[in-house]
A and B are shown apart, each in its own frame.
Chain A
Amino acid sequence: AQKITQTQPGMFVQEKEAVTLDCTYDTSDPSYGLFWYKQPSSGEMIFLIYQGSYDQQNATEGRYSLNFQKARKSANLVISASQLGDSAMYFCAMRTGANSKLTFGKGITLSVRP
């Protein structure tokens, strides 16, 4: 069975600094995908970034990058130059094989300080 673990307590970062949100995963399937979603206080889920297990390079999307370390089964999200609007809950998720369903971690709260 697949599992996503997000154990960091609430994270705080100063505006304009970089922050890393941790995610570890567990699966026996060699084919999988890893995702990060942002959930602001308004409640919607916003897709941020995707990394496939066979992708050779770490995914990047604007200020977001995914630090994918396959041997350690970690998929940390790095947000560069934090903005006040980045304050939200962040979820790491995974899908495995041909299965489209996403398995989510419990989420991490990020607060950006001015």
Chain B
Amino acid sequence: DSGVTQTPKHLITATGQRVTLRCSPRSGDLSVYWYQQSLDQGLQFLIQYYNGEERAKGNILERFSAQQFPDLHSELNLSSLELGDSALYFCASSRAGRDYEQYFGPGTRLTVT
């Protein structure tokens, strides 16, 4: 158990819908990262937050957005969902000054039908 929690574990929804994925980092970790793992794209970095502020952005679609709240939990919002958004979405966290150690949560498996 990495100490990073993600909810829900599974999510099934229809095209065009909007969903919110939630992540709670390990206690004391200020950085949160979101990754998407799909069969065709592999594992891709989406976005990083550090202590509430966006720190780095990767291959995140405009339909996707994220935020980190004062209690350091983070949410990833996916809207206007398409079939191709079906993937495993991971959240990871790391301590200040030790961002080379990213600990991953169990992931949320999103299925868009």
Nearest to B106 among chain A residues (CB) is A44
Closest chain B residue to A50, Cβ basis: B100
Chain B residues near A95: list those with CB within 8 A.
99-100
Contacts of A57 in B (CB 8 A): none
> How many residues belonging to B are interface residues under a CB distance threshold of 8 Å?
26
A101 touches B56 (CB 8 A): yes
Q: Which of A63-71, A79-87, A103-111 contacts B (4 or more CB under 8 A)?
A: A103-111
Question: Which B residues between 82 and 100 are near A, CB-CB below 8 angstroms?
Answer: 88, 90, 92, 94, 99-100
Q: Is the CB of B42 within 8 A of A44?
A: no
Interface check B102, CB cutoff 8 A: yes
Interface 1/0 per residue, A86-114 and B, CB below 8 Å:
00000101010001111111110000000
**Nearest CB on A from B26, distance (A):** 12
Interface residues on A, range: 20 to 34
B58 within 8 A of A: yes
* A residues apposed to B, CB below 8 Å: 33, 35, 37, 42-47, 50, 52, 91, 93, 95, 99-107
Residues of B whose CB lies within 8 Å of any CB of A are 2, 31, 33, 35, 42-45, 48, 55-56, 58, 88, 90, 92, 94, 99-107, 109
